[in-house]
């Protein structure tokens, strides 16, 4: 589970140690591109602040915090956008005493989306914090917050995950191995993004389509049939480039005989077919060419044109870099 992985991270254990020693800030900002990690961190820290065992994870207090039902934990901006009046009610709640503990916690989700008006209201509590009130925020980027707010919070930057950790996490949630590996690679270490990919309809089919295109396209005469198959649409082209890069990378690993883990899973037979005729240098060149095509997407060149150039470039790299 993501919380268990998080507990092993230095960033968490250091903060837990500080809290255990009684050094508690009145406002925290957990910043990191992976939404799931930020939210898990915020909940874990809330539990550590309220649980008599500093976040044991199993007691009644911890369970209530994880379930979002602890009376002294107030949640904002998760399902409903936080308004100025929500910020005002946070301020008045912060002055009161806790129901079950000495503390009142205020968890603010998606803090990068808070309006400047709301942030300015929150500054009031941050400048004169009532005893026992702690504000916890998570945001994709700290730069989205006002400098005045940033200067009042303890900023904790959260790391992205290693591809292997994302794969394991997805598999624990029932995502099949092949999809998990591809989604993890595409996510660049963000678990939330990986989960979005894994749950996206048609991801596995598209991945298979790209494999069959790369195995089937053997010379320039073959290009047209793939080009007009309908797979190169503006919605799909970005992911076709992603998949092609993942596959060519593994072809390169195979050709170079490198001892590096492949991103594709159970596809060695197809990789062999795609790699047939490639030298390692040719595969590397093809990979670079495909990567360079991304800039074409930014200038609104049609998906079919990009697709045609991609297939042509791959074939050219294959033939040009052949050993003589």
By CB under 5 A, name the binding residues for Zn ion.
51, 53, 56, 59, 62
User: Which two tokens mark 306?
Assistant: 């990009």
Q: Whose CA is closest to 139, among 57, 34, 287, 27?
A: 34
Q: Least distance from C-beta 19 to Zn ion, angstroms?
A: 13
The secondary structure element, H or E, covering residue 30 is strand 27-31
Of the pair 56, 258, the CB lying nearest Zn ion is at 56
Of the pair 54, 218, the CB lying nearest Zn ion is at 54
- C-beta separation of 224 from 304 below 8 A: no
Q: Least distance from C-beta 51 to Zn ion, angstroms?
A: 3
- C-beta separation of 170 from 184 below 8 A: yes
Q: For residue 130, is it left (φ>0), alpha (ψ between -120 and 50) or beta?
A: beta
Of the pair 102, 229, the CB lying nearest Zn ion is at 102
Residue 281 burial by CB count (10 A; 0-12/13-18/19+): exposed, middle or buried? middle
Of the pair 12, 191, the CB lying nearest Zn ion is at 12
Of the pair 50, 285, the CB lying nearest Zn ion is at 50
Gyration radius of the chain's alpha carbons: 25
CA pair distance 304, 233, nearest whole angstrom: 7
Of the pair 46, 215, the CB lying nearest Zn ion is at 46
Q: Least distance from C-beta 158 to Zn ion, angstroms?
A: 22
Q: Least distance from C-beta 53 to Zn ion, angstroms?
A: 5
Of the pair 59, 296, the CB lying nearest Zn ion is at 59
**Tokens 């490639």 belong to which residue?**
278
Q: Least distance from C-beta 239 to Zn ion, angstroms?
A: 42
Residue 199's alpha-carbon distances to 190, 195, 237, in angstroms, are: 14, 6, 19
Q: Least distance from C-beta 88 to Zn ion, angstroms?
A: 32
Q: Which residues on neighbouring strands pair with residue 108, listed in sequence order?
A: 76, 137
Q: Least distance from C-beta 254 to Zn ion, angstroms?
A: 49
* CB-nearest residue to Zn ion: 51
CA pair distance 176, 106, nearest whole angstrom: 37
């Amino acid at each position: 589970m993501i919380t268990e992985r998080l507990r092993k991270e230095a960033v968490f254990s250091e903060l837990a140690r500080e809290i255990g020693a009684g050094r508690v800030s009145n406002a925290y900002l957990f910043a990191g591109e992976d939404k799931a990690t930020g939210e898990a961190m915020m909940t874990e820290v809330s539990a550590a602040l309220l649980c008599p065992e500093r976040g044991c994870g199993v007691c009644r207090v911890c369970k209530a915090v994880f379930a979002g039902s602890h009376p002294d934990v107030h949640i904002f901006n998760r399902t409903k956008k936080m308004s100025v009046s929500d910020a005002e009610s946070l301020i008045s709640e912060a002055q009161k005493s806790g129901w079950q503990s000495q503390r009142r916690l205020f968890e603010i989700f998606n803090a990068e989306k808070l309006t400047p008006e709301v942030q300015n209201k929150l500054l009031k509590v941050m400048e004169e914090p009532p005893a026992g009130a702690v504000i916890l925020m998570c945001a994709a980027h700290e730069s989205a917050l006002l400098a005045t707010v940033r200067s009042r919070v303890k900023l904790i930057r959260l790391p992205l995950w290693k591809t292997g950790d994302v794969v394991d996490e997805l598999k624990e949630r029932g995502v099949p191995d092949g999809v998990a590996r591809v989604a993890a690679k595409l996510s660049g270490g963000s678990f939330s993004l990986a989960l979005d990919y894994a749950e996206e309809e048609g991801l596995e089919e598209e991945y298979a389509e790209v494999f069959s295109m790369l195995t089937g396209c053997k010379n320039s005469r073959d290009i047209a049939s793939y080009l007009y198959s309908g797979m190169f649409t503006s919605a799909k082209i970005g992911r076709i480039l992603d998949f092609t890069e993942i596959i060519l990378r593994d072809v390169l690993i195979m050709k170079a005989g490198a001892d590096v883990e492949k991103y594709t899973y159970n596809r060695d037979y197809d990789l062999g077919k795609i790699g047939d005729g490639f030298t390692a240098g040719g595969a590397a060149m093809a990979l670079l060419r495909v990567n360079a095509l991304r800039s074409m997407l930014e200038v609104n060149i049609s998906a079919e044109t990009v697709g045609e150039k991609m297939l042509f470039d791959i074939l050219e790299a294959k033939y040009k870099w052949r050993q003589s």
